[in-house]
Amino acid sequence: MSSCCPPKEDTAQQATRESVQEYYGKILSKSDDLKTNACTTDSGLPPQVKAIFPLLSDEVITRYYGCGIVIPELLEDCSVLDLGCGAGRDCYIISKLVGEKGRVVGVDMTDEQLEVANRNIDHHTRSFGFSRANVEFKKGYIERLNELNLADNSFDVIVSNCVINLSPDKDAVLREAFRVLKPGGELYFSDVYSDRRIPQDLVDDPVLFGECLSGALYWNDFLTLARQHGFADPRLVSDSRITIENEAIEKKVGHIKFFSATYRLFKHADLESDCEDYGEAVVYKGTVPTSPQAFTLDAHHIIQAGRVFPVCRNTLRMLTGTRFAPHFDVVGGGKQHYGLFEGCGKAIPFASASDSAAAAGGGSGGGCC
Ligand SMILES: C[S@@+](CC[C@H](N)C(=O)[O-])C[C@H]1O[C@@H](n2cnc3c(N)ncnc32)[C@H](O)[C@@H]1O
């Protein structure tokens, strides 16, 4: 093959990126220009985030195209990477939360978005009362963080708001995110998901794609992909249904349902594929400043302060093998295994497993024929 031509796959991916660049660089100039509500879902901001809004420049607020909240707790002094930072709204919120000793890097491929982000650095450095900027923006592709000299194991947290759906190579995005995260770090991100795989003719529609709809991952494919890249136990933090609110586009997408969802994916070498029960529990000390009453790990783990809270081994690792460790005490020896942790979605497959089935002579598994 001649060395002058990129492989076919790369050409198709490049065409997708150029179409997205055109959409976010030339066609849209503010959130109101979007044709659907897929990229502007932003309800329920936590108070510590709301309090930062008056310090933000109007320009970065009006160029926000995110679909959820990507601000986990305990960011002070952290190094944070924002994949597809756009005009930088989330980077600036996080810049305030990590403080002067922290570091924020935003990556985006679209010049027009980066211009807005860059020209607002001084405004925010002054507005936050910092002696020097703790944010920088880099132009590049989120699939190729290696080209931006972002080292292995270098970020505590990666965030991303409504971007991965726009990537033509989601596999590479997750692989690179896993590479640059420190062990114990997390990818905490909001994106658009569908309830089924999306037909190619819709994927090829530039408006549907640019509006963050037809590039959405079917939720179950996303979970498989995340696990393949080492994020063994993806945790759903929140979700909401996207209503679209554009008749022509609703007609095109037909019965496909879309959701905006925030997931957190921890990079921890000892996470297992399933939730195993070692008879362990945690007690939350109530010491995370923004959550004195209860700590929310995910939609299924809202842990009240001072109360013994039984956890599976994976949850224990997410709480005690990460930056959250100082805020939890562990109860229980953890030496003995008691099977799958009840209520985690899976159960023992043997029909004869229940005591009543055993008393009746076993289930269908008894005997070989
Ligand atoms: C829907 S906007 C979200 C922007 C920002 N996260 C926010 O919340 O306002 C998507 C952004 O992702 C960027 N983007 C999309 N695909 C990208 C890729 N493969 N590499 C780098 N940036 C990308 C676009 O340029 C655009 O700024």
Closest-CA residue, ligand 1 atom 22, reads 108
Ligand 1 pocket by C-beta < 6 Å: which residues? Answer: 17, 20-21, 24, 39, 64-66, 84-86, 89-90, 108-110, 113, 141-143, 161-163, 166-167, 212
Could you list the beta-strand ranges (E) of the chain: 79-83, 103-108, 135-139, 155-161, 181-194, 217-218, 235-241, 258-266, 280-284, 294-298, 301-304, 308-311, 328-331
State residue 357's pLDDT score: 63
Closest-CA residue, ligand 1 atom 12, reads 84
Ligand 1 centroid to residue 240 C-alpha, Å? 21
Closest alpha carbon to 168 in 193, 186, 141: 141
Cβ-based neighbours of 299, under 8 Å, separated by 6 or more: 235, 236, 237, 238, 239
Tell whether the torsion through CA atoms of 28, 30, 35 and 36 is positive or negative.
positive
Mutate to test the pocket of ligand 1, among 166, 192, 214, 242 (most ligand atoms within 8 A of CB): 166
Beta partners for 103? Answer: 79
Task: Say if CB 368 and CB 345 are below 8 A apart.
Answer: no
Q: Which ligand 1 atom sits nearest the alpha carbon of residue 142?
A: 20
Angle in degrees, CA 87, 93, 94, rounded to 5: 105
Ligand 1 centroid to residue 167 C-alpha, Å? 9
DSSP 24: I
Q: Which ligand 1 atom sits nearest the alpha carbon of residue 70?
A: 8
* Sequence ranges of the domains in the chain: 12-266, 280-347
Report the distance separating Cα 73 and Cα 306, nearest Å.
19
285 burial level (CB within 10 Å; 0-12, 13-18, 19+): middle
CATH class of segment(s) 12-266: alpha beta
Task: Say if CB 96 and CB 123 are below 8 A apart.
Answer: no
Closest-CA residue, ligand 1 atom 26, reads 86
Q: Which ligand 1 atom sits nearest the alpha carbon of residue 168?
A: 19
State residue 39's pLDDT score: 63
Note whether 12-266 and 280-347 share their fold: no
Q: How far is CA 71 from CA 22, 68, 81, 97, 280, in A?
A: 28, 9, 12, 9, 28
Helix or strand (DSSP H, E) at 244: none
DSSP 30: S
pLDDT, block means (10 residues), the chain with 369 residues = 55 86 80 70 81 96 90 98 98 98 98 97 98 98 97 98 95 98 98 96 92 94 98 96 90 94 97 96 98 97 98 98 98 92 87 76 39
Closest alpha carbon to 217 in 232, 238, 203: 203
Q: Which residue intervals of the chain are DSSP H helices?
A: 8-22, 47-50, 58-62, 89-98, 111-119, 121-127, 170-180, 200-203, 206-210, 219-228, 247-253, 313-320, 355-359
Ligand 1 centroid to residue 29 C-alpha, Å? 13
Mutate to test the pocket of ligand 1, among 108, 115, 164, 174 (most ligand atoms within 8 A of CB): 108
Ligand 1 centroid to residue 193 C-alpha, Å? 16
Ligand 1 centroid to residue 246 C-alpha, Å? 22
Q: Which ligand 1 atom sits nearest the alpha carbon of residue 67?
A: 8
State residue 363's pLDDT score: 41
Report the distance separating Cα 300 and Cα 318, nearest Å.
14
Ligand 1 centroid to residue 283 C-alpha, Å? 39
Ligand 1 centroid to residue 91 C-alpha, Å? 13
113 burial level (CB within 10 Å; 0-12, 13-18, 19+): buried
Q: Which ligand 1 atom sits nearest the alpha carbon of residue 65?
A: 9
State residue 31's pLDDT score: 74
Ligand 1 centroid to residue 287 C-alpha, Å? 35
DSSP secondary structure string, 248-260? HHHHHHTT--EEE
CATH class of segment(s) 280-347: alpha beta
Report the distance separating Cα 147 and Cα 161, nearest Å.
22
State residue 8's pLDDT score: 59
Report the distance separating Cα 337 and Cα 277, nearest Å.
6
Tokens of 259: 């959701």
State residue 12's pLDDT score: 83
Closest-CA residue, ligand 1 atom 25, reads 110
pTM higher than 0.85: yes
Ligand 1 centroid to residue 84 C-alpha, Å? 4
Ligand 1 centroid to residue 342 C-alpha, Å? 39
Closest alpha carbon to 66 in 48, 46, 95, 87: 87
State residue 7's pLDDT score: 60
Ligand 1 centroid to residue 226 C-alpha, Å? 20
